[in-house]
Structure 1
Amino acid sequence: VVHEFYRPFVERKLVDMIYLPEPLMSGDMISYKVFDKFAKPVLERFFQPYKNLGLPTMVHICGILTTKHLEILNGIKGLDVISIDSKVSLNDARSILQDKCIAGNFDTLQLDQASEEEIIEKLKQVLDGMEGHDRYIVMPACDLSPTTPYSNVRTFFQYVRNYKTPS
């Protein structure tokens, strides 16, 4: 059904990337064995046709991903970017997802409730920790709450934009 929905957009080249938000494939919901047996083939069937057309592909999986889940994700054909929740160890993701771009992991609750100074400190930790990994997209771990202060979002983007940029 999703392929049929996207088909006219893809055919008219109105799509720059295929993104699949997936709330039910997390380690909170299914074991890595079930993930490998059932979710991996579904993700490959979903993403590979788009990858064959030259479109970048991205999945966001909510919740916990164990190291075994990450190893399986690293082997999924047709998948370029894996967006991870704040519950996932960024160190584990960095060491295991060698063949993929990593995105996300910045806690949306922190973005909603922390001070601007705390956001900057957390961003510094995240970005310093990902130094040397050429494929990391800093972004929130999930959807932003409607109560997230604009000043916090602005601080987030300004810090990332200016991170290690010479003055």
Structure 2
Amino acid sequence: MSALSPKERLLKVLRQEPVDRPPVICPGGMMNAAVVDVMNTTGHTLPAAHKDAGLMAELAADVTNYTGFENLGIPFCLTVEAEVLGSEVSYGTLTCEPKIVREIYPSVSDVKLKNVEDMLGAGRVETVVQAVNLLAKQQPDIPVIGNLTGPISTAASLVDPVPFLKELRKNREGAHRVLDYVSKLLIKFAQEMIGNGATVISISDPTATGEILGPKMFEEYAVKYINTVIDAVQAQGAPVIVHICGNMAAVRHLIPAIKANAISTDAVVNLRQLKQDFPGVTTMGNLSTYLLEFGPTEKVAERARLLVRDGVDIIAPACGLSTSTRLEHIQAMTGAVKEG
């Protein structure tokens, strides 16, 4: 098989076509690899890069160049949508990711629906879109992954999450209204990124776990609205990766109902078994981020090789990376996959 570019390899896997080896990626968003070692080496740092398109693109390129991950992934957090929707955000520090300081609404009943089109040029949405454009032009052979916060997590960053989760049961009409609203914003954001050169859209929805929602609400809300976003993104010609956090035992049977081109999972999930149970699912993951942070390098490389042997389609960290993760541990992971 002739040598494939990183973009070609990832797209082939997402189309379920044969490749020479699995891609090794870290999509960005919740799985952000802008670790302190990279930022201190290059001088392109957070939190400044959260708000500057040029710096965001430079840091994304630094991550790819230094870690060996075969993609460019932005933004570096899960707060872009919540901020544009009106919640208060702290941009964090070099070592601490952005966080929601205060959700704007106490209940789904209080949510005022803004014009989604008006939000596309507000907050950091335009910053991310501009950074996508820069990266797509500068690095045409490397896939640019544009990241979205999933519908449930976005809604739980707009509305205080404790009452929001209760209202999924007690005020279903109001909950669906809010989830429909945030899904429309996510679709428009994704379309803007795709129009500016994003190769793949990745959706991380850490609040939408089987452990938090249970199977009935996972099906009613998470599957429904994630698929709403997926359908719109795929209609634009871009494939979609969906990351599901935590132990999936309670919702395992619903995984095939998610229309993503690949399913990314946490480290507790046995991906070899998942592939056996659902042969049509393209699997991604799931090297422990605890192991990536603390090492040693030999065990990181060994685990990466095991994932390849198990037939995992895309090798990636299992979940969010600590900013203190040592660069040599990440390089051990990417190097082991590329060695074949």
TM above 0.5, one fold?
yes
Gaps of 5+ in 1: none
What are the Cα deviations for residues 19-72 of structure 1, in whole angstroms up to 9, with x where unaligned?
Answer: 111101112212122212221111111110111222101111111111x52331
- Given the alignment, which residue of 73, 85, 100 partners 2:255? 73
| Alpha carbons 2:215, 2:251 under 8 Å: kept | yes
Indicate the structure with greater helix content.
Answer: 2
The aligned runs of 1:8-157 (5 Å cut-off) are: 8-10=192-194, 12-66=195-249, 69-77=251-259, 79-130=260-311, 136-157=313-334
- Matched residue of 2:243: which SS? strand
Gaps of 5+ in 2: 1-184
| Alpha carbons 2:275, 2:281 under 8 Å: kept | no
How far does residue 107 in structure 1 lie from its aligned partner after superposition?
A: 0.3
- Given the alignment, which residue of 190, 208, 212 partners 1:6? 190
How far does residue 13 in structure 1 lie from its aligned partner after superposition?
A: 4.3
User: Under a length normalisation based on structure 1, what TM-score does the superposition of the two structures give?
Assistant: 0.84
User: Under a length normalisation based on structure 2, what TM-score does the superposition of the two structures give?
Assistant: 0.43
Identity of aligned residues (%): 22
In structure 1, what is the equivalent of residue 8 of structure 2? none
| Alpha carbons 1:74, 1:96 under 8 Å: kept | no
| Alpha carbons 1:24, 1:61 under 8 Å: kept | no
What are the Cα deviations for residues 131-164 of structure 1, in whole angstroms up to 9, with x where unaligned?
Answer: xx6xx1011001211111111111111111002x
| Alpha carbons 2:191, 2:233 under 8 Å: kept | no
How far does residue 92 in structure 1 lie from its aligned partner after superposition?
A: 3.0
- Matched residue of 1:142: which SS? coil
Runs of 4+ with deviation above 6 angstroms: none
- The structure-2 alpha-carbon separation of the partners of 1:113 and 1:7, relative to structure 1 and needing over 3 Å to count, comes to same
Amino acid at match of 1:38: Y
User: In the aligned structure 1, how far is the partner of 2:288 from the partner of 2:226?
Assistant: 25
- Matched residue of 2:220: which SS? helix
User: In the aligned structure 1, how far is the partner of 2:191 from the partner of 2:245?
Assistant: 26
The number of aligned residues is 156
User: In the aligned structure 2, how far is the partner of 1:115 from the partner of 1:127?
Assistant: 19
User: In the aligned structure 2, how far is the partner of 1:126 from the partner of 1:81?
Assistant: 15
In structure 1, what is the equivalent of residue 336 of structure 2? 159
| Alpha carbons 1:70, 1:97 under 8 Å: kept | no
User: In the aligned structure 2, how far is the partner of 1:117 from the partner of 1:7?
Assistant: 41
User: In the aligned structure 2, how far is the partner of 1:8 from the partner of 1:39?
Assistant: 23
| Alpha carbons 2:267, 2:287 under 8 Å: kept | yes
Amino acid at match of 1:114: G
- The structure-2 alpha-carbon separation of the partners of 1:81 and 1:120, relative to structure 1 and needing over 3 Å to count, comes to same
Structure with the larger RCO, 1 or 2 (CA within 8 Å, 6+ apart) = 2
- Matched residue of 2:301: which SS? helix
CA RMSD of aligned residues (A): 1.7
- Matched residue of 1:147: which SS? coil
Report the structure number with the largest CA radius of gyration.
2
Amino acid at match of 1:147: S
